[in-house]
A and B are shown apart, each in its own frame.
Chain A
Amino acid sequence: EPEVTQTPSHQVTQMGQEVILRCVPISNHLYFYWYRQILGQKVEFLVSFYNNEISEKSEIFDDQFSVERPDGSNFTLKIRSTKLEDSAMYFCASREGLAGPYEQYFGPGTRLTVT
């Protein structure tokens, strides 16, 4: 069964450094998402992406964040200058279609630790 993959599984970085989290969505999916989950808290939406542009973003997704689909397979989340409060689990998800019963398939997540 096709699945969403994410790399790395765990990233440790120093405050102020840039990080890029990578995701490979399911191949025929058209809609892509990033969510984050701070330890012990609920999963929060960051951004959705379709047709090479952002469809929707939350208030969390400020100028420090950016997303890109650099080629036909990868979908990346960049944090330009990490803060301690960016430490969280980051989940990528993809979806085949927009309206209707198409579900979002989640990747296994990348645990980001900012020291």
Chain B
Amino acid sequence: AQTVTQSQPEMSVQEAETVTLSCTYDTSESDYYLFWYKQPPSRQMILVIRQEAYKQQNATENRFSVNFQKAAKSFSLKISDSQLGDAAMYFCAYRCEETSGSRLTFGEGTQLTVNP
């Protein structure tokens, strides 16, 4: 079974600084996607960034980028120039393309605090 692990329950960063959130996963599949979702206090799930496992290039979306290390099964999220609005719970998620329903498997989450 696939598992996703986020070892940092809480992280904090100063406004305008950079922070990296860690995620590791375990799978025997070769075709999969990895995601980072943001969950603000409203509890809405918002997609931040997506990485296809077959792509070697790390995904980037504005201030958000990932460090995808496929051999190490590591998928970290870097937030540059942190803003107060980045404060939220961040979930790493995995999706296998080889199962019938393509469910998302989530990690435990990292609560990010941004200090002014």
Contacts and interface: CB of A to CB of B under 8 A. Distances in A.
A42 B107 contact: yes
Interface residues of B, number: 25
Given A89-B43, A108-B42, A45 B107 contact: no
Nearest to A48: B101
Contact of B102 (A42, A95, A109, A111): A95
A103 B46 CA distance: 11
Contact of A56 (B37, B43, B101, B107): B101
Contacts, number: 62
B103 A56 contact: yes
Contacts of B37: 106
B52 interface: yes
Contacts of B107: 42
24 contacts: A31-B102, A33-B101, A42-B106, A42-B107, A42-B108, A43-B91, A43-B104, A45-B103, A45-B104, A48-B100, A50-B101, A89-B43, A93-B104, A95-B102, A99-B97, A99-B102, A101-B52, A103-B50, A106-B37, A106-B44, A108-B42, A108-B43, A108-B44, A109-B43
